[in-house]
Structure 1
Amino acid sequence: MPSQLWPYVTPGIPDELFEYLPGIPMSQRELRLLLITQLRLKSDSVLWDIGAGTGTIPVEVGLLCPQGKVIAVERDEDVASLIKRNCDRFEVKNVEVIEGSAPDCLEQIQLAPHRVCIEGGRPIQDILQAVWQYLPPSGRVVATAANLESLYAISQCFSLLRARNIEVVQSAVNRLETRGYSQSFVATDPIFILSGEKLD
């Protein structure tokens, strides 16, 4: 359901509406839209968001999937509190925050995932192999890579796990920004988004 702060049924909440902490990663709006598209959610999906950062994905998905559940995994106590505050800002009630380091903390989670989102997690291969054990057939994983090493590691792990329907998308987004008296387009950092599904 829409919130008072974001009274729309479409995703794409502006970044400035979220509370944030300096130095804490925030998935920018355009990247969130690409991630959500690749997740292929249903209204009752259970999503594990590993490395949830500011909590932008849990908030967006919590609003999109009112009958679903989002498990936000974050290792830092202050950042976990930030996720909870952002959920409160947007009146999102179906997000549970797990404080701990993946993959070790995953056994605490009571609900198996339909979808898993991994943003910048390390060690990425260990996390991928661990979540794969919890995924049901046709479950889907979406992971991001900001550099060539992570791109290779995720691709190799998908191959070892025999993931199907693998897709790779690279973001290329430019935003109009005002600088002084002029307006110019500024490129956001390019990110690779990889997705794959578990065999039946």
Structure 2
Amino acid sequence: MRDDEFIRGPVPMTKREIRLVSVDRLELARARLLIDVGAGTGSVGIEAACRYPRLRVMALERNPDALALIRDNCARFSLDRVEIVAGEAPLPLAVNADAVFIGGSGGNLSAIIRWAGELLLPGGRLVINLILQENLSEALGALRQAPFVRADCIQMQVAGLTGLGSGHFFKPNNPAFIISCLKENTHDRAL
């Protein structure tokens, strides 16, 4: 899905290339429920729901403007499998998820990582997108204290060709860190 297909407004959005890698790392082919934390415009959850027709998405967001954008984007893509939850994570949810995506944390990153560990089924996937190095350090430290294994982190820098006068240059987007890992299960302990 192209970025310009989404209704944007003043809310941050995970850009296409970062979104594609993030959704890929969630490994959703057999998943039933994805929780999208700090959903913003809903781009990650909506991309995942469009790609995987059996997937249900819970989009958590605290910003009223973002909540309206998620509703508008779900309507634009005719998605009724995205449940929008107004609130700030961590919050009580009576579900078990196959995957959790953290795109925004509102300053509660370590608590959200622990909470994701409680919500995920054994072997479930956690993917975290970050742009601040301080948040990267915090996330890696929190993952060491939580029930996660096989942590992997990449940094992506994407630049797109843009016109300038009679020429062109590559205009960079913010670099992003993408962390992916699994919730530990008994099989992982044996490795």
TM-score by length of 1: 0.88
In the alignment, which residue of structure 1 is the partner of 2:102? 118
Of 143, 153, 160, 1:175 maps to: 160
SS of equivalent to 2:184: coil
Cα pair 2:95 2:119 within 8 Å, conserved: no
Structure number having the greater strand percentage: 2
Deviations 1:118-144 (A, max 9, x none): 013121001111121111110111111
User: Which residue does the alignment assign to 2:120?
Assistant: 135
- In structure 2, give the amino acid aligned to 1:157: A
8 Å CA contact 1:32–1:57 kept in 2: the answer is yes
2: CA distance between counterparts of 1:31 and 1:151? Answer: 16
Q: Distance in 2 between matches of 1:110 and 1:159?
A: 25
> Which residue of structure 1 aligns with residue 188 of structure 2?
none
- AA aligned opposite 2:54: Q
Describe the SS at the equivalent of 1:27: coil
Q: Unaligned stretches of 5+ in structure 2?
A: 186-191
Under a length normalisation based on structure 2, what TM-score does the superposition of the two structures give?
A: 0.92
Q: Aligned partner of 1:17: which letter?
A: E
- Aligned partner of 1:15 in structure 2 is 3
Give the C-alpha shift of residue 180 in structure 1. Answer: 2.8
SS in 2 for 1:26: coil
Q: Report the AA paired with residue 6 of structure 2.
A: F
Alpha carbons 1:62, 1:94 under 8 Å: kept: yes
Superposition deviation, residue 44 in structure 1:
4.1
User: Shift in Å at residue 34 of structure 1?
Assistant: 1.1
Give unpaired runs (5+ residues) of structure 1.
1-12
Aligned length: 184
Q: Which residue of 1 aligns with 2:189?
A: none
Secondary structure, counterpart of 2:121 in structure 1: coil
- Provide the residue aligned with 2:36 in structure 1: 49
Deviation readout 1:38-65 (Å, 9 max, x if unpaired): 1111254310000000111121011112
Residue by residue over 1:64-83, the C-alpha shift from the partner in whole angstroms, topping out at 9 and shown as x without a partner, is 12111000000022211110
Q: In structure 2, how many angstroms separate the alpha carbons of the residues matched to 1:88 and 1:65?
A: 17
Q: Residues of 2 paired with 1:160 and 1:43: CA distance?
A: 28
Q: Is contact 2:113–2:146 with CA below 8 Å preserved after alignment?
A: no
Q: What are the Cα deviations for residues 159-191 of structure 1, in whole angstroms up to 9, with x where unaligned?
A: 111421111011021211112322111111111
Decide which of 41, 46, 64 is 1:59's aligned counterpart: 46
141, 145, 163: which one pairs with 1:156?
Answer: 141
Q: Secondary structure at the match of 1:114?
A: strand
Which residue of structure 2 lines up, in the alignment, with residue 3 of structure 1?
none
